[in-house]
Amino acid sequence: MKKSEITAKYDKASEMIHRNRVSDAFVQLRQLVADARKEYLNTELDALEENYRQLLRHSFSGVQDPEREKVYRYLLRTLLEMADKLREMLLFEWGRDNTVRLKRELLREKGLEPAEAIDILESLTFDDELAGLLRDAKVGEGVAAGHREDALHHIFNIIWLTDNCTGEETRLLEATCDSEQLPWHDKSLVVSALTLSLLRYFDANKFLLLFRFVDKREPFVWERAMVGLFMGFLKYNDRYALYPVLEQKTLALKNFPRIEQHIEAILVQYTKSRETEKVKKKWEEEILPAMMKMRPRLEEKLDLDNIFSDPAEEEKNPDWETVFEDAPDLLDKLQELTEMQMDGMDVFMSAFSRLKHFPFFREISNWFVPFFAAHPAIQNAIGQPGEGPDVMPLANKLENTYFMCNSDKYSFCLNLQLVPDQQKTMMMDMLRTEMDNISELEKDQDMLNGLARTKSIYTQYFQDLYRFFKLHPWRAEFDDVFAMPLDLHETHFVKHLVSDHKTIRNIAELFFDKQFYPDALKVFLSILEEDKSNIELFEKVAFCYEKTGQLSQAYSYYQKADLIESGRLWIVRKMAWCCRYLNKWEEALVHYRQAEKLDPDDMRTQASIGQCLIHLGQYNEALEYYFKVEVLAPENHKIRRPLAWCSFLLGKFDTAKDYLERLLVSEPRNRYDLMNLGHVSWCSGQPDEAFRYYLKAVVAWKRISDFEAAFHEDRKHLAMHGIEPMEMDLMLDYLKLEIRRARKKSN
């Protein structure tokens, strides 16, 4: 079976369970059992189906069962877990991915025996309690105890590729968490392995182990565990209610010091790291074109929306405060410095993406190992004392600074060994100067302790995760947690821990600032339920509706904002803009007239009034407004297009011809200008000249059918100036015959 087939069947079964279509889910699961050739699982399914039948029988027999909900919830999660198991069985049997191959190798070497992992782990520490856990366990030869890094890679892979943490696996991870002697960077690596394992395969015990690491509060370790919980709950939000123990552990976190600020900081860093380009593309490539299709062809013909080259008026209100500038608790100076880096498109990301080819990064675990100068890979890169420039002081500085993520620090140091000594010295001097400046910022922000330091650890860890999911050679095999469609504010984990109004507003503003308008809209609407007097909330809700293409709702909320405080120019323009796209030209004109009173010298408003008047057939007045714009901005040749059109409709053919000929000097192949000049020539009594311009227009259009559609829309205007319907038909036929004859000649 192909991986895509397995995934599709699994997704279908999971969806049925989540939608409470349990009977259908049983059928789908039996298909997966057949595919996996694990007939013994049908016995489990038979028992579950009989339990479900009993539950249904009791439900409709009039018997009140206080345990019904608990039993039903247990059934759903058991079915989901069986679906997980079947998917993994099928992928293990049929998969060709690198991760499947690695898992097979570990099983073949008995590498997934947790007892062996604990034996390896005890060789890395002098912790008597940890060493005594499985002193008598019989383990294989495994990894040689002297090779510490190999041992850590092995343990990382064991944890990462474990599906369910049962007794032995749990003891391994609990021992790691509780060890007093195991270095923090080894524990951090284990937490990363556990996080990847959870994201790869759901297991409630993995959540509980991450909670344990958080509760231990060991610096540099618990922060990573908190991020792991956040990422895990984002991915498995739909399972949260099925496991009461997860809710209990989450609620217990309310006693964690400053928990709301921690969740806010994590959410900020995660949101900043998600790709915003897709959001922008959705507006530019999907929503706006769909809206344009609903508008009359006249907008395209006269290019009325692009008369001015400067940004359109429908952008954000300049009066809105930027939350990040006024909320030092939300972003400090160091985070401002690394904001683009968290977007995944900064100079560090682009520069260091080419430096992940070193053998060091062939091990999955090395993408997550915290940077420390004593790491063997760094020692090897630095070389022996006296061999070239001394890199050790720089490595020590890198270890203690937060401005670069761990993965990039390793990339930088590994790259130094390939650089000539002279260039190496120059690079080191540049980086040392930069780090000295950063060190001053870190001192200002009290980076050595408190929430500021914790935020920077979150930032670094998200950067490491981002690079792994975006740059690792196996990245196509992983579910990219930065690309999942997520409803962040509605995630149970976040909702249980964040209740402060200021924090919720900050979250909304963050989504808004990063252009995640659907997410921002949901949060703003929830805030608006409790505060209906804040005009900015109405404005931002309207703006979110606008940016998601819901213009009727946008117009409604702009109107509500106008009721709170009427006569604000930005709102008036927004209402007018919405009306234009909703083809409510009379209402749009009313709003633009009001905008004209508030700002009489604005040329864009003058042109927009002219646009409304054209749509309303008031061509004389439209001409006056466009004349105003022409006088004030004579260099703007695009204003000649509506001037030519209005002149033509009013029978001022010489004026129209003059404007159109001047337009064609700069745009000789503009199809609408050529067609309109044909109209003008024909109505002026020059049909032969009209034919020549029409022929050029057809060539510019490339397809005569497109020309014909546009021509038919203008028939009423030609008729108004005395052109008979039959003559129009004959003109079109003449054009078609000439086009065919020209094509035959060219062939």
Residue spans per domain, the chain: 3-95, 333-477, 657-747
pLDDT digits (tens, 9 = 90+) for 544-568: 999 999 999 999 999 999 999 999 9
Q: Are 160 and 197 in contact (CB under 8 A)?
A: yes
Which residue type sits at 72? Y
Separation CA 143–CA 148 (nearest Å) = 9
What is residue 234's predicted lDDT score, i.e. its pLDDT?
93
Residue 345 has pLDDT above 60, yes or no: no
Residue 134 has pLDDT above 70, yes or no: no
DSSP string, 286-350: IIHHHHHHTS-HHHHHHTGGGS--SPPTTS--TTS--HHHH-TTT--HHHHHTHHHHTT-SHHHH
Separation CA 334–CA 249 (nearest Å) = 32
Which residue type sits at 439? S
Q: Residue 369's pLDDT band (boundaries 50, 70, 90)?
A: very high
Residue 317 has pLDDT above 90, yes or no: no
Residue 6 has pLDDT above 60, yes or no: yes
Q: Are 3 and 92 in contact (CB under 8 A)?
A: no
pLDDT digits (tens, 9 = 90+) for 671-692: 999 999 999 999 999 999 999 9
pLDDT digits (tens, 9 = 90+) for 40-58: 999 999 999 999 999 999 8
What is residue 393's predicted lDDT score, i.e. its pLDDT?
79
Q: Are 185 and 372 in contact (CB under 8 A)?
A: yes
Q: Minimum mean pLDDT among 135-144, 186-195, 352-361, 407-416: which range?
A: 135-144
Nearby residues of 125 by Cβ (< 8 Å), 6 or more positions away: 131, 179, 181, 182
Token readout for 374 is 């004593």
The residue-averaged pLDDT of 303-324 equals 64
Q: What radius of gyration do the chain's Cα atoms show?
A: 34
What is residue 478's predicted lDDT score, i.e. its pLDDT?
93
What is residue 396's predicted lDDT score, i.e. its pLDDT?
84
Separation CA 268–CA 552 (nearest Å) = 31
Token readout for 661 is 């000929």
Residue 532 has pLDDT above 60, yes or no: yes
Q: Structure pTM? A: 0.78
Residue 333 has pLDDT above 90, yes or no: no
What is residue 343's predicted lDDT score, i.e. its pLDDT?
41
Q: Residue 336's pLDDT band (boundaries 50, 70, 90)?
A: very low
Q: Minimum mean pLDDT among 1-10, 344-353, 417-426: which range?
A: 344-353
Residue 172 has pLDDT above 70, yes or no: yes
Separation CA 159–CA 165 (nearest Å) = 9
Average per-residue pLDDT in the chain? 84
The residue-averaged pLDDT of 399-417 equals 84
> What are the helix (H) ranges across 516-584?
517-528, 535-547, 551-564, 569-581
What is residue 354's predicted lDDT score, i.e. its pLDDT?
73
**Burial of 536 from C-beta contacts in 10 A (0-12 / 13-18 / 19+):** middle
What is residue 61's predicted lDDT score, i.e. its pLDDT?
84
Separation CA 741–CA 734 (nearest Å) = 11
> What are the helix (H) ranges across 601-724?
603-615, 619-632, 640-649, 653-666, 671-683, 687-701, 704-713, 715-720
Separation CA 551–CA 719 (nearest Å) = 36
The residue-averaged pLDDT of 21-47 equals 96
Fold designation for 657-747? 1.25.40
Q: Are 593 and 577 in contact (CB under 8 A)?
A: no
Q: Residue 388's pLDDT band (boundaries 50, 70, 90)?
A: low
**Burial of 130 from C-beta contacts in 10 A (0-12 / 13-18 / 19+):** buried
What is residue 487's predicted lDDT score, i.e. its pLDDT?
75
What is residue 342's predicted lDDT score, i.e. its pLDDT?
40
Nearby residues of 740 by Cβ (< 8 Å), 6 or more positions away: none
